[in-house]
Amino acid sequence: MKSKIWLSSPHMGGTEQNYVKEAFDTNWVAPLGPNVNGFESDLEKYLNQDMKVACLSSGTAAIHLALVQLGVKTGDEVICQSFTFCGSSNPIAYVGAKPIFVDSELDTWNICPNALEDAIKDRIKKGNKPKAIIIVHLYGMPSKIDDILAISNTYNIPVIEDAAEALGSTYKGRKCGTFGDFSILSFNGNKIITTSGGGALVCNTQEEKERTIYFATQARENQPHYEHKNIGYNYRMSNISAGIGRGQMEVLDKHVGLRRQVNTFYTKIFKDIQGVEVQKEPNQDYHSNFWLSSILINQHAPFTKSEFQEAMVKENIETRPLWKPMHMQPVFKDNPYYGGNNCETLFNKGLCLPSGSNLSSDDLSRIEECIIKL
Ligand SMILES: *Cc1c(COP(=O)(O)O)cnc(C)c1O
């Protein structure tokens, strides 16, 4: 059997272990320490715009703490892009609120501004104005940020920007992860950079950052004994994980460049194959990190989606369907949904292809041969 080609696997830059070793040497083997502070300041410098970053145990935890700080409670409603990973929507349920799902548009595959506005108007009419809007930059592609922020302004509803897949992407030259009232990042094993597992909440002020850390460390009051006025969480990032993150920051831009090259590689291959579209940036305002390169296979293609998948499986090459929309998931089957069938169509036609920054030229040749043969 040929070696497995993964969709997106961890890609170490080489210096990560130095930071981890330093943590051991100085005995900072704890959910705080110099690497956590260092990783936060690395991210703040990278994102710019005076953002303040609090590192946490996961991206999902970051969304949870954004909702907590926006005061979302039992009985509230929160709008969420339906076409996403469950990490975007599950935290809405953690706070006892109800997710209201919204369809995507076909330029970026992200939340459709028209359907979003319809949803807001209808929920207001029904007497429950949504408390927040969770938008996602799926596969690294920035969403229609200007339109979304205009709607958020008009109705005065805060935006939680899920940039878990979009570290290194930009919209009109500004980094994704800096647009929301709160924004979140993920450093899970398959993301653009990894800390083995981890995430961050990007805040607009130092006070919000401190409040985030307070909630992430069991909401301990400033007292010599353990005093609690609020329910807290154990969500802080480990100093060991943060060490990996510090090393990964040194290669982030390089890895974004490599993922973009992988996307160009697929664009070239599929250019002459009828009925197959590679996801692309709608125009120059959008700059994707192309965390995952994805294709849509329609009825004019020389192969079906399952034929394509099977051929890749035979060559031990991983592919994966696009995210199954949340409004189609059994667990959310009773939740309201606004829009048409765009995200359902994308789910039916789409596949993610191996996209890692660590794909070798041998790997790329194997993939190309497999596609051409088919
Ligand atoms: C990965 C991911 C998350 C959650 O991040 P974790 O760190 O795995 O909790 C949230 N939203 C999206 C879109 C993601 O891809």
pLDDT (tens digit, 0 to 9) for every residue of the chain, 374 residues total?
A: 789 999 999 999 999 999 999 999 999 999 999 999 999 999 999 998 899 999 999 999 999 999 999 999 999 999 999 999 999 999 999 999 999 999 999 999 999 999 999 999 999 999 999 999 999 999 999 999 999 999 999 999 999 999 999 999 999 999 999 999 999 999 999 999 999 999 999 999 999 999 999 999 999 999 999 999 999 999 999 999 999 999 999 999 999 999 999 999 999 999 999 999 999 999 999 999 999 999 999 999 999 999 999 999 999 999 999 999 999 999 999 999 999 999 999 999 999 999 999 999 999 999 999 999 99
Q: Is the CB of 353 under 6 A from ligand 1?
A: no
Contact 165, 191 (CB under 8 A): yes
CATH number of 252-373: 3.90.1150.10
Say what the pTM is.
0.97
Q: Is the CB of 339 under 6 A from ligand 1?
A: no
132-136 vs 159-162, strand pairing mode = parallel
- 258 Cα: distance to centroid of ligand 1 (angstroms): 22
SS (H, E, C) 225-245: CCCECCCCCECECCHHHHHHH
286-287 vs 170-171, strand pairing mode = antiparallel
Q: Residue whose CA is closest, atom 3 of ligand 1?
A: 87
Residue 135, token pair as written in the block: 């938008």
Q: Is the CB of 85 under 6 A from ligand 1?
A: yes
Q: Is the CB of 241 under 6 A from ligand 1?
A: no
| CATH class belonging to 16-249 | alpha beta
CB atoms within 10 A of CB 220: 14
By residue count, the chain amounts to 374
Test site for ligand 1: of 56, 60, 134, 138, most ligand atoms within 8 A of the Cβ? 60
Residue ranges, comma separated, of all CATH 3.40.640.10 domains in the chain are 16-249
Residue ranges, comma separated, of all CATH 3.90.1150.10 domains in the chain are 252-373
